[in-house]
A = this chain, B = another copy of it.
Amino acid sequence: MTDALLTAVQHGTDVIDLGRELRVGMPQSPNHPQFWHTLPRRHGDMTRADGGSAANDMITMGTHVGTHIDALAHVSQDGKMYGDADAQDSCIGGKYVELGVHTIEPMIRRGVLLDVAGLKGVECLEGGYEITVADLEAAEAAAQATVGQGDVVLIRSGWGSKFPDGAPYVGGPTGVPGVSEAGARWLAERKVHAAGADTIAFERLAPGAGHGLLPAHRVLLVESGIYIIEAIDLETIAAAGWGEFTFVLVPMPIFGATGSPVRPLAVRSR
């Protein structure tokens, strides 16, 4: 059998991991249950007669932790979700049956990096900075990759460089850079499949303002059916200078959930 995809894979690929390791204590939004991992059974606790032993894990977490994707069920506006679905009635037996994260198809698509921080020559945009349409278009030109229908667009503010610092990454007092309504509309007009950022909230947050208003979520999730990916690690891919690549993202198929931790990949033929 000759399969163009498999042939390309077997000629060799470079993979850049865009996901954050899931570690106890990592920064996350206080709105969601903390990520915890622990080992109920360690090697040495119990050994079988033949000398074998198995260790295992227990996890508790929200789904909007680490690098994660928002399902369309995550956000409603004026009682409606995407497609005019009634937000309360859509929860059937405690599950979002139609718009939950299990309905997101795995993504193997063109990805485009819009490196706004790189464009401006800074390590990191300032807290509260709104990434404008002009910024997006300049970054698109720099990437030499026109954003098109069905693409996944990743917007780099550089804020991800603060992830190892913990609380500053969450950014309450300082605000967080990001697109707002105008940038979201630009993405929606290009009919992208999903949009991501290197921040927890994806959106521009004003200093001290918290998550009270989330216009980009409304435009993308509720009005346009476009998935949002948050807390992506864009530092390595920016350093590598990749503008266009194959983007791979496989959400956990959690029936009825509003989101999922993910580990997206950028891949290129070597």
Contacts and interface: CB of A to CB of B under 8 A. Distances in A.
A264 to B, nearest CB: 8
A185 interface: no
A172 to B, nearest CB: 12
Contacts of A248: 106, 108, 248, 250
Given A218-B52, A245-B6, A34 B34 contact: yes
A211 B54 CA distance: 10
* A-side interface size class: 35 or more
A121 interface: no
A37 B6 contact: no
A94 interface: yes
Interface string A16-59: 01011111100000011110111111111110111111111111
Interface stretch (A72-80, A153-161, A189-197): A72-80
- Which of A3, A17, A74, A258 has the most B CB atoms < 10 Å from its CB? A3
B57 A257 contact: yes
A231 to B, nearest CB: 13
21 contacts: A5-B5, A5-B268, A6-B268, A15-B105, A19-B253, A22-B254, A24-B40, A38-B40, A39-B94, A39-B258, A41-B94, A42-B94, A43-B87, A45-B92, A53-B77, A56-B258, A106-B263, A108-B265, A248-B248, A250-B263, A252-B252
